[in-house]
Amino acid sequence: MRHSAKRATAGKCVRTIAAACMLLLGNAAALAKYPERPITLVVPFAAGGGSDGTIRIVAEHMAKTLGQPIVIENGGGAGGTTATARVARAAADGYTLILGNSGTHSATPAQYSDLKYNPAKDFTPIGLSAEFPMVIITRRDFPANSLREFVDYVRKNQNRINEAHSGVGSQSHSVCTLLQSIMGTRTERIAYRGTSPAMNDMIAGHVDFKCVGLGPVISFIQAGTIKVIAVASSRRVELIKDVPTTAEGGLPEFQVSGWNALFAPAKLPPDIQFTLNEALGKALDDPAVRRRLLALGNEIPEQPNRSPEALQGLVEREIARWSSVLKPTAGQ
């Protein structure tokens, strides 16, 4: 009897170990097959903006590498936070991704007391997809033609002019909050659901100025339908090399750049995170993709800045930076 019991116990152990091995092998096989179906990439802004156009170029190449379509789903509102919060609650299986930026993943904690997600904890970083200079633009017939003239005019007429932005917490809102803080002004601020509708009103002369990434407005600048006052960077930009920097224009403390990056919900399996990061890197290294991104006013992230770890560090640093800038003016 004792030998029989021992054999039964041993048999049970073997079956348990076998079952565990099968489970591990099954999980490994599932990861090895990823992706098996289309991936949804949520862009939390209106279609047609700079972030939307840029990530479509990158996603097109990533889809070829991954062997599955990447379906872009636009979802604007509340500076991108509505759609971002929804993705934070999605399954961490690699089939739902979010395009984040320095607005949705850095500025929002300082501006929304009831924010439904934590940018640093509720997402798995995939990688930085683009960087770009921020510019100050105005309607074509705005009285100022230089940064010094712009600052002087806004200070003297702040009760009579307005600023367009893409919602509280968006990059355009955060950057112009910094600008107005430096200038010591408080103009009327008009929120839009994205850059495209704001630009329509600016071209029509309904809004006066906006802080925005270069990409979505480069065609308007080249066509002369708007003015560009200055580039908020330490050096001039080749696409608009005649436009001075904010340092050259007398406002050296106003230097800021924008960025876009890919994220997944928290607890994404490391194998899938690696697969997505690798596909992103291949897209950014492709000569045709690089040409298209550069033509839109983007800067290609350097290799050391593309890793998930580098992106996580960027998010944490940016949250700390914007918190000190934006909390005094949250909700404006």
CA distance 99 to 86: 12
Contact 19, 25 (CB under 8 A): no
Please tell me what DSSP assigns to residue 245: B
Contact 274, 124 (CB under 8 A): no
Task: Note down pLDDT in tens along the chain; length 332 residues.
Answer: 444 444 444 455 445 554 444 444 444 444 459 999 999 999 998 787 778 889 999 999 999 999 999 999 998 777 789 999 999 999 999 999 999 998 899 988 888 888 999 999 999 999 999 998 899 999 999 999 999 999 999 999 999 999 999 888 788 888 999 999 999 999 999 999 878 889 999 999 999 999 999 988 999 999 999 999 999 988 899 899 999 999 999 999 999 989 999 999 999 999 999 999 999 999 999 999 999 999 888 999 999 999 999 999 999 999 998 888 786 444 45
- How confident is the model at residue 228, as a pLDDT? 97
Torsion of the alpha carbons at 34, 35, 36 and 39, rounded to the nearest 10: 150
153 Cβ partners below 8 Å, 6+ apart?
142, 143, 144, 161
- Position 312, amino acid: Q
Gyration radius from the chain CA atoms:
24
The neighbour count for residue 46, using CB atoms within 10 Å, is 21
CA distance 143 to 153: 8
Alpha carbons within 13 angstroms on the beta-carbon side of residue 213 total 30
CA 259 to mean position of chain CA atoms: 5
Provide the sign of the torsion angle of the four alpha carbons 140, 142, 143, 148, taken in this order. negative
Whole-model pTM above 0.75?
Answer: yes
pLDDT tens per residue, range 131-142: 988 999 999 999
**Domains in the chain, start-ordered, CATH in brackets?**
36-132+258-329 (3.40.190.150), 133-240 (3.40.190.10)
- How confident is the model at residue 36, as a pLDDT? 98
Structure tokens at 108: 């929002």
- How confident is the model at residue 327, as a pLDDT? 66
- How confident is the model at residue 330, as a pLDDT? 46
CA distance 227 to 171: 20
Helices assigned H by DSSP within the chain: 2-33, 50-66, 81-88, 108-111, 147-157, 171-183, 195-203, 218-223, 270-285, 287-295, 308-326
CA distance 214 to 147: 17
